[in-house]
Amino acid sequence: MVRYVYDFPEGRRDMADLLGGKGANLAEMTRLGLPVPPGFTVTTDACRAFLTTGAEPDGMLAEVSRHLSAVEDAAGRRLGQRDDPLLLSVRSGARFSMPGMMETVLDIGLNDDSVLGLAKASGSERFAWDSYRRLLQMFGSTVMGVDAALFERAMTTLKGMRHAPDDLHLDARDLAELVEAYKELIRDESGEYFPQSPAEQLRLAILAVFRSWNGDRARIYRRREHIPDDLGTAVTVQRMVFGNLGPDSGSGVAFTRDPATGRSGLYGDYLPNAQGEDVVAGIRNTVPLAELERLDPRSYEQLLAHMGTLERHYRDLCDIEFTIERGTLWMLQTRVGKRTAEAAFAIAAELADEGLVSADEALARVDGDGLARLMFPRFDASAAGEPLAHGIPASPGAAVGAAVFDSAEAVRRAAAGEKVVLVRQETTPDDLPGMIAAQAVLTSRGGKTSHAAVVARGMGKVCVCGAEELAVDTGARRFTTRGGTVVAEGTVVSVDGSDGAVHLGAVPLADSAVMRFLETGERSTGVVPAVVRALEHADAVRRLEVRANADTPEDARRARRFGAQGIGLCRTEHMFLGERRKLVEEMILARDGVERERALAALLPLQREDFTDILEAMDGLPVTIRLLDPPLHEFLPDRTELAVRVAAAEARGERPDPHEQALLEAVGRMHEENPMLGLRGVRLGLVIPGLVAMQVRAVAEAVVARTRAGGSPHAEIMVPLVGAVEELRIERAEVERVLAEVSEESGIAVRCPIGTMIELPRAALTAGRIAEEAEFFSFGTNDLTQTTWGFSRDDVEAEFFAAYLDKGVFLASPFETLDRDGVGRLVRIAVDEGRAARPGLTIGVCGEHGGDPDSVHFFHAAGLDYVSCSPFRVPVARLEAGRAAL
Ligand code: PEP
Ligand code: MG
């Protein structure tokens, strides 16, 4: 029989699929003997069943009440009993952390009777009524669908009437009055009474948490984080402990290390006399955790000890939520904490030094996305000048953008291509779309653990929070600094998430230390030694080689500095952009052999010199030169523009320019409706006489020149867009003929491996045949994705891709992350059949996917020999290739 409920001591950390991250870690802490309020977890299985059928699965409620009885027995109290009632929290907790994206209901068990019992038992009427109004507020909005703003409004009205600056100034009578107002609000808005039965409250709260898995916020977050939609959430039900019982109580959030830099020590925020929710929401300003040592030294010592236990047990940075209830410390949550990229590298290196993790594990804990982030520039401190304000540096990096004051405006402006900084007093999960759209998030309230900080760090987005000097006026769409500067919506500001500074205007950017290391080898500063360690270990363990896609000597040199082991794709058509485009145009449009030969002759020396320089930059390493593959529309003049020019000249009565007319006629003749599927790649070589010969001659002569100069050139010749072995056979014969010719002329034997790209489904499906003529394969996954899905590479950033992502057709664009099921299947077929026909066949990939972390793992598993990517992605690919090999 399927079980739907587990008591905390029955679970384990590795059961997160079933119990969610929160449930699994509460179980683990319970087993470690840490003080966790007793409770149980309803599984993700139950959630999935509920979401499929719309009803809780059979037996779930009976199990819940059995486990509830156990909690009640242990506490010696019953849920919602009239005197001293047991109260429960009901929280979401999915496999992957989705901070604040789903629902929570606290204080379950309170009703018109038990609130009196709570008042007596706690000795505080104010506390009891405050708890009841919190329940009504959360339950009303989460479970009964009442607009949360209405509760806020009722509270604000009452505070206004009582001249109370904040909720702490409302007394028990006021709060009791508010409870009545809230109950009325619920009845008016939902048409139903707030349920007085504690068991019914519990049931409805559990189902509401299940339902919140499919709420808008949660869905947007999952899309952003590539979390599958079908996991569902678990629900943890736990005895309430209270941090708002007076000055000897409080709630806090703590990290075992600084999540921004990775430095070890105690970091966090504490809020005396408050519930955990108040800390995270950033509603009141917290004090640094170190203050707790003064306020409650015993709890502080205990907390320190528990944090040590957790960090040693998890062997990683842990973040923790805790509550102190009248001097007793309770641990409410832990998890391996989110951290910045810088902290991830620093922590991995430090834990390896401490012997807590092996070099392999240290490598597993960093990733290519993080490395890429560290390669971004930061603000140039010398040019920054006096900041407008300072806040807490919550998520590092440098961002410049126009200040905007709500999520919708951020989304609107970003969609129009503007860079924006979202400025709020504090953020809530409703601000998520705006946070995604913005370059940075700036808040005037809240600490390092506020919603803004946690979410921004997870996204790798710049964030400064708690900039108290700023008075943010959302209604008037402006903020005012303490010095009186008014910054209106649309004004450009610069936000430094590394030191917390906010500047007026656009501050210039300075290089990152990691980039400086990659460029110059300077390795002593900041996080660089930790990055070097990870990269060196990745290089030692990886099987995949990493090459670069480079078409210029500068790119080749940079790629080599970044650790590329050769060039996997030199796109020769890129050598003819700009001024040289004319020459390609002339060659394509030549009306006869004489014109064509003239054009080709002009191209030859340019190509030869380019190749010579690139071979020099990559001396001793392979350089895969791809024969010309220009989609014609990229190289020919635009037909419409040309036609308009010719017609306008005619209308002015001018004599037609014969060149323009000839061009128009030729462009018309060669026009293609689908140039990406047209006269490209090998097809061009087969129909334009002399083209292949010219390119191969340029390569061969460059090899000769480099050999004569004492170099060690390793050119490889690659034929693009092959669909049939016959195409390759014809082209190959031509390549060999020219190589032999140049060898003969120069007296130097020019030997270049000849291979092909696999970028059409037919090529993949006939790879066994193609391998007869190919000494290597390189997957062109850009075209292979285009032709497998039938998505135009040039048009996919159009609307429907966003809709596809939104509807979950795919979690990431298949042009960014390889589609394993479809395109990946073709890759595997081609690898198997290619190697079966030609054992030892060298196989690589040179589409964009070669630098994408997830895809690199796939290519490793598929048995490729190398990935090739843009020079800036080379370090990322090295790191991920190492991680794939672990
Ligand atoms: C490819 O198609 O993946 C490829 C590398 O070639 P290009 O992007 O130049 O078409
Ligand atoms: Mg291609």
What confidence tens digit (pLDDT) does each residue in 610-632 have? 999 999 999 999 999 999 998 77
- pLDDT at position 497 is 87
Whole-number Å distance, alpha carbon 720 to ligand 2 midpoint, is: 7
The closest residue, in CA terms, to atom 1 on ligand 1 is 780
Neighbours of ion ligand 2 (CB under 5 A): 759, 780, 783
**Contacts of residue 654, Cβ cutoff 8 Å, sequence gap at least 6:** none
Give the nearest ligand 1 atom to 759 CA: 2
| Per-residue pLDDT tens over the stretch 8-44 | 999 999 999 999 999 999 999 999 999 999 999 999 9
Contact 564, 546 (CB under 8 A): yes
Which pLDDT band holds residue 86 (cuts at 50, 70, 90)? very high
Torsion of CA 698, 703, 708, 711, to 10 degrees: 140
pLDDT tens digit sequence for 269-308: 999 998 887 776 666 778 899 999 999 999 999 999 999 9
Half-sphere exposure of 323 (CA within 13 A, CB side): 22
Q: What is the pLDDT of residue 1?
A: 75
Contact assessment for residue 167 and residue 159, using Cβ atoms and an 8 Å cutoff: yes
pLDDT digits (tens, 9 = 90+) for 517-526: 999 998 877 8
Instruction: Say how many residues make up the chain.
Output: 886
State yes or no: pLDDT of 101 exceeds 90.
Answer: no
Alpha helix stretches (DSSP H) within 41-113: 44-53, 60-75
How many A from CA of 846 to the centre of ligand 1?
A: 7
Q: Which two tokens stand for residue 517?
A: 């290391």
The reply to whether 503 belongs to the active site is: no
Identify which of 577, 626, 682, 783 to mutate to test ligand 1's pocket (most ligand atoms within 8 A of the CB).
783
The verdict on whether residue 782 carries a ligand-binding annotation is yes
Segment 365-384 shows an average pLDDT of: 84
What strands lie across the sheet with 398-404, from one edge to the other?
Answer: 389-390, 501-504, 492-496, 398-404, 420-424, 440-443, 462-465, 392-395
Name the residue of 567, 718, 757, 864 whose CB sits within 8 Å of the most ligand 1 atoms, as the mutation to test its pocket.
Answer: 757
State yes or no: 571 annotated in a binding site: yes
Q: Please calculate the CA angle 476-477-480 and round it to the nearest 5 degrees.
A: 85
Which ligand has an atom closest to residue 784 CA?
1
Per-residue model confidence (pLDDT) at position 280: 67
- The Å distance, Cα 549 to ligand 2 centre, comes to 12
Distance 772 CA to ligand 1 centre (A): 23
Residue 799, pLDDT > 70, answer no
Catalytic residue, candidates 67, 306, 451, 537: 451
CA 860 to chain centre: 22
- From CA 852, how far away is CA 815, in angstroms rounded? 10
Shortest-distance Cα residue to atom 6 of ligand 1: 780
The yes-or-no answer on residue 846 being catalytic is yes
pLDDT in tens, 499-515: 889 999 999 887 789 99
**Ligand 1 pocket by C-beta < 6 Å: which residues?**
569, 571, 629, 759, 780-783, 846-847
List the beta strands (DSSP E) in 66-129: 88-94, 104-108
Q: Is the pLDDT of residue 804 over 90?
A: no
Q: What is the Cα–Cα distance from 19 to 42, expressed in whole angstroms?
A: 7
Q: Are 228 and 811 in contact (CB under 8 A)?
A: yes
At residue 650, does pLDDT exceed 90?
A: no
Task: Write the CB contacts of 806 (distance below 8 Å, at least 6 apart in sequence).
Answer: 223
Residue 833 has pLDDT above 70, yes or no: yes
Q: Place 667 in a pLDDT band, splitting at 50, 70 and 90.
A: confident
Nearest atom (ligand 1) to Cα of 573: 9
pTM exceeds 0.80:
no
Could you say which ligand is closest to the alpha carbon of residue 850? 1
| Per-residue pLDDT tens over the stretch 451-493 | 787 778 767 689 998 898 899 999 999 999 988 899 999 999 9
* Residue of 722, 782, 785 to test ligand 1 pocket, by largest number of atoms within 8 Å of CB: 782
> Which pLDDT does position 829 carry in this prediction?
98
| Separation of alpha carbons 207 and 358, rounded Å | 43
Q: How far is CA 799 from CA 410, 583, 802, 806, in A?
A: 19, 37, 6, 11
pLDDT at 419: 95
The ipTM of this complex is 0.99
Share of the chain above pLDDT 70, in %: 97
pLDDT digits (tens, 9 = 90+) for 853-868: 999 999 999 999 999 9
- Maximum Cα–Cα distance across the chain: 104
CA of 453: how far to CAs of 259, 282, 290, 391, 597, in Å? 11, 10, 20, 12, 64
Separation of CA 760 and ligand 2 centre (Å): 9
Catalytic, out of 503, 846, 849, 860: 846
If you average pLDDT over every residue of the chain, what do you get?
A: 92
Would you say residue 771 has pLDDT above 70? yes
Q: What CA–CA distance (Å, rounded) separates 321 from 226?
A: 26
Distance (Å) from CA 556 to ligand 1 centroid: 18
pLDDT (0 to 100) of residue 395:
80
Q: Strand pairing of 440-443 and 420-424? A: parallel
pLDDT for residue 72: 96
Six-digit token pair at 716?
Answer: 């490889």
Name all domains of the chain by residue range, CATH numbers in brackets. Answer: 71-239 (1.20.80.30), 250-336 (3.30.470.20), 378-510 (3.50.30.10), 542-576+592-629+682-884 (3.20.20.60), 631-679 (no CATH)
On whether the CB atoms of residues 702 and 611 are closer than 8 A, the answer is yes
pLDDT of residue 800: 77
